[in-house]
Chains A and B, each alone.
Chain A
Amino acid sequence: MARIKIPRKSTAIDMTAMCDVAFLLLTFFILTAKLRQEDPLKVDVPGASVKLNIPDVDMATITVGHDKVFFGVEGTDIRKALLEEMGKKYNIPFTPEETQKFMVTPTFGVPMNLMKQYLDLSADDKKKYVQPGIQVDTTTNSELFNWIYQARIVTKNLHNKELKFAIKGDSHEVYPKVGGIIDILQKQAVNRFSLITALNQSK
């Protein structure tokens, strides 16, 4: 009796479709990617059950943590105009190169008198440099007050929109620190702002 020969099948799989899918996904991720920005001030954001996303444009973030306050505003055009306005206010002329460097600094915590030195640092030195934070007090003439105020004016002039604010506070920061920032915003009649939280799924 003759044995039935089972033809051996090829073990090669057609990879074409898989390759297509992989590259499609890759393209999608490259196009939607917004590179994770290294925060100069690392804060542990408190969790909450809110699911509202924060907007990407016309947005300023005030980071509070480790007894320091950092300020950041979205948009290179706004940052450029903002530095010019702040330079005028504090009588510090900034060179075009410095302005260029400021435009790519999304968040900073440097007082005005050190701003020039900070911007002149090389990229490597900037990473090593420990930013001391922006000066804050309860008066209406602190540096943070002016940053916020000028940023609002610049946004209104350039985009004709109200600048939105978000406070990114560290979980372990005592409340009065954040309360002081809220007071500064309230003094400028900014009564609507967000508190950045992480999504808390455990509750």
Chain B
Amino acid sequence: MAELDTSGGGGKKGGKVRSKKASTRIDLTAMVDLAFLLITFFIMATTLAKPKAMETIWPDKTKKDVQLPVPESRTMTVLLGANHSIAWYIGPPGKTPPTVDNFGKNGIRKTLIENNKKIEATHAGKDNYMIVLVKPSDKATYKDFVSIMDELDITRIQSRAVVAITPPEIGMLKDSKLY
């Protein structure tokens, strides 16, 4: 099959007719073809890319007396609105108008890093880290939630909490046309 006859075709100059010795080599081409076909099948049919998982830890709701007071000046609240939008503010609600932001490298990630630096610079003492409260609205998708948690992981902000959104905050989103 994949072999060319290279015997030269000569040698018929009389003499005895000898029976040709059969070669002991087997053509393995077809076998290799089959093997690779099967390999391809198994690669396609199996799950090589295993799903990844984001580990999340939530507060224990059964214990009611472990609420720590959150210093408002170190708190950044992130509101998740409709159509993958974000609005955030620092401090108590209503004091500063929310800033509209978006997902991505130059959006919320930059904001988180900058705000963290700002808060660490303006607060003295050991506990000067920023606390992030994530408040998904009813119109936020699950993807937005995972994205914001991922951004917090990327920017290494450990102190975070997921809190239910309040009506005044929904009003803020509505004012920014994000709800």
Contacts and interface: CB of A to CB of B under 8 A. Distances in A.
Interface of A: 8-13, 15-16, 18-19, 22-23, 25-26, 29-30, 32-36, 45-46, 48-54, 64, 166, 168-179, 182, 185-187, 189, 191-200, 203
B127 interface: no
Interface residues of B, number: 53
Nearest to B59: A191
Given A174-B142, A197-B54, 7 more contacts: A11-B4, A12-B27, A15-B27, A29-B46, A48-B146, A54-B51, A176-B136
Contacts of A198: 51-52
Contacts of A168: 51
A175 B55 contact: no
A177 B142 contact: yes
A195 B54 contact: yes
A93 to B, nearest CB: 34
Contact of B31 (A19, A54, A191): A19
Contact of A166 (B3, B25, B27, B53): B53
Given A15-B32, A189-B62, A174 B139 contact: yes
Interface string B1-32: 01110101000000000000000010111011
Interface of B: 2-4, 6, 8, 25, 27-29, 31-32, 35-36, 38-39, 42-43, 45-47, 49-62, 80, 104-105, 136-147, 149-150, 153-154
Contacts of A169: 142, 146
Contact of B141 (A25, A53, A174): A174
A186 B29 contact: no
9 contacts: A26-B35, A36-B45, A50-B54, A54-B51, A173-B141, A175-B140, A176-B138, A186-B58, A193-B58
Nearest to B139: A174
Contacts of A193: 55-56, 58
Given A49-B154, A203-B105, A15 B56 contact: no
A189 B27 CA distance: 65
A192 B54 CA distance: 11
Contacts of A36: 45-47
B142 A35 contact: no
A175 B145 contact: yes
A144 B104 CA distance: 35
Given A22-B36, A30-B42, A53-B52, A11 B142 contact: no
Given A11-B3, A175-B136, A175-B142, A34 B47 contact: yes
Residue from A19, A178, A192, A196 having most chain B Cβ neighbours under 10 A: A19
A178 B145 contact: yes
A15 B108 CA distance: 57
A168 B146 CA distance: 11
B136 A26 contact: no
Contacts of B150: 48-50, 197, 200
Contact of B53 (A25, A32, A54, A182): A54
Nearest to A171: B143
A175 B80 contact: yes
Given A19-B32, A50-B150, A175-B144, A10 B58 contact: no
